[in-house]
């Protein structure tokens, strides 16, 4: 293929990323990933920040993973400082798929506790992929500060991230036993159950944990001794 033809195809693919039809954008991202070119990296990162369709965003991330890490990493790290929640979230998602450990220092406490649930969830997933072995305990401590947060879906994401850290989470989960917030205690109990039994469903684990916490705090009970009733 001639240079002129490659240039024409590249420009056509980049224009297609902005097409109003999601199917066209999806095919464009697939084509770009199938024929990596340094010119694509910037536009791919930029499109991730505004692309409304989940499946297209996922294909954009795949296309980024097909390019050299030294080209994609700077732009993705820059997006972590964006004021757009989707830009931060998708950049974190892409970093988790690329898996380059050089991204770890950029996963700050601010991102791990981001007010936007999607950003925080993406940060949790990226963190457990990128965390160095000697910083697992510290990550577990930060993640534990988010116990009890958000919707059931958000809580499941956090539990999955914590469980992925393994036994390092046991001390931090035990540290929640005396907290005043029953939602935090229940979430910690459910996470501990998932650590012990990875096949346990989160729904049943969290409901049982809430029942135990409620009974433990009820008058006439003894720290959940009647939780089996």
Residue-wise pLDDT tens digits, 24-65: 999 999 999 999 999 999 999 999 999 999 999 999 999 999
Place of tokens 């390092």: 168
What per-residue confidence (pLDDT) applies to 40? 95
Mean pLDDT, rounded, for 159-174: 95
Q: Is the pLDDT of residue 220 over 80?
A: no
CB 141 within 8 A of CB 170: no
Residue-wise pLDDT tens digits, 73-90: 999 999 999 999 999 999
Instruction: State CA 204 to chain mean position distance.
Output: 23
* 3-state DSSP of 136-182: HHHHHHHHHCCCCCCCHHHHHHHHHHHHHCHHHHHHHHHCCCCCCCH
Whole-angstrom Cα Rg for the chain: 21
Closest CA to 168 of 191, 201, 200: 191
Q: Identify the band that residue 217 occupies on the pLDDT scale cut at 50, 70 and 90.
A: low
Kindly state the percentage of the chain with pLDDT values over 90.
77
What are the distances in angstroms from CA 142 to CA 100, 173, 218?
21, 12, 30
Torsion 44-45-51-53 (CA) sign: positive
What per-residue confidence (pLDDT) applies to 34? 93
Q: Is the pLDDT of residue 221 over 60?
A: no
Mean pLDDT, rounded, for 176-183: 86
Q: Is the pLDDT of residue 228 over 50?
A: no
Mean pLDDT, rounded, for 197-209: 85
Q: Is the pLDDT of residue 226 over 60?
A: no
Sorted by sequence, the CB contacts under 8 Å of residue 30 that are 6+ apart come out as 59, 62, 63
Sorted by sequence, the CB contacts under 8 Å of residue 83 that are 6+ apart come out as none
Q: Identify the band that residue 109 occupies on the pLDDT scale cut at 50, 70 and 90.
A: very high
Q: What is the largest CA-CA distance in the chain?
A: 82
Residue-wise pLDDT tens digits, 9-28: 778 889 999 999 999 999 99
Q: Is the pLDDT of residue 222 over 60?
A: no
Residue-wise pLDDT tens digits, 96-105: 999 999 999 9
């Amino acid at each position: 293929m001639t240079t002129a033809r490659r240039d024409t195809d590249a420009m056509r693919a980049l224009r297609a990323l902005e097409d109003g039809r999601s199917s066209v954008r999806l095919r464009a991202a697939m084509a770009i990933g199938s024929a990596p070119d340094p010119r694509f990296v910037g536009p791919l990162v930029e499109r991730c920040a505004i692309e409304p369709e989940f499946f297209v965003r996922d294909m954009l991330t795949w296309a980024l993973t097909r390019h050299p890490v030294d080209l994609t990493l700077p732009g993705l790290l820059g997006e972590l400082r964006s004021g757009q929640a989707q830009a931060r979230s998708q950049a974190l998602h892409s970093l988790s798929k690329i898996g380059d450990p050089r991204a770890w220092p950029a996963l700050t406490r601010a991102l791990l506790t981001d007010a936007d649930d999607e950003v925080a969830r993406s940060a949790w997933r990226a963190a457990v992929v990128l965390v160095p072995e000697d910083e697992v305990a510290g990550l577990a401590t930060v993640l534990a500060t988010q116990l009890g947060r958000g919707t059931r879906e958000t809580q499941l994401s956090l539990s999955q991230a914590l469980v992925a850290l393994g036994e390092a989470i046991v001390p931090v989960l035990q540290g929640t036993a005396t907290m005043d917030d029953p939602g935090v205690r229940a979430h910690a109990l459910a996470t501990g159950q998932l650590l012990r039994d990875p096949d346990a469903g989160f729904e049943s684990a969290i409901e049982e944990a809430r029942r135990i916490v409620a009974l433990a705090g009820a008058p006439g009970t003894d720290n959940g001794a009647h939780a089996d009733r």
